[in-house]
Amino acid sequence: MTNTITYTTSGSAVFTEDFCLDLYAGTDQDDTAWLDGGAAAGTAPHYPGNLDGFAARQSDGVATKGLKLVCGRMTTVAVDDETITLTGGATKVLSAMSGDTSTAASSLMIKNTTDGVLQFTVTGTQVANVPVWMIVA
């Protein structure tokens, strides 16, 4: 499947995606729409004679997309309160972690994740190519 996630930073940093994996086994546990078969009696689409839909089907136009594991890196230096905004194929950051900056007097830490925005706290002089991993929906 072609990845359609777009990453936009708020400052001078550039986030480069190295790979994005679909996590088919990881779906939102609170969303059970896929269990109803997509066709309740009396609603469209329905089967002739107004029969209930067959429950649980795996492909439904309104089903929630699976989660994705995104691995990338800040290919240029980030500044404090820098953000990455996700649009397109993913609009929520469910979890994130950043790697080591390899400089003792600096750090790049995840400060906040809200919907499709990931915000960083930066201390000291940053280096490029710090890895960032995200689970997104």
State the pLDDT at residue 52: 60
For the chain, what is the radius of gyration of the CA atoms? 20
Q: What pTM was computed for the model?
A: 0.68
How far is residue 90's CA from residue 22's CA, in Å, rounded to a whole number? 11
Rounded to an integer, the average pLDDT of 67-92 is 90
DSSP 36: G
Give residue 19's pLDDT. 92
Supply the pLDDT for residue 8.
94
Nearest-CA neighbor of 20 among 72, 84, 61?
72
Query: 3-class DSSP state for residue 19?
Result: strand
16-60 per-position pLDDT tens digit: 999 998 887 655 556 665 555 555 555 555 556 666 666 555 555
pLDDT band at 134 (very low <50, low <70, confident <90, very high): very high
pLDDT tens for 97-132 read 988 767 677 788 888 888 889 999 888 878 888 899
Please say whether the beta carbons of 101 and 33 come within 8 A: no
Look at the block and give the residue holding tokens 């995200």.
134
Token representation of residue 82 = 């820098």
Q: Is the pLDDT confidence value at 92 over 80?
A: yes
Which comes out higher in pLDDT, residue 92 or 25?
92
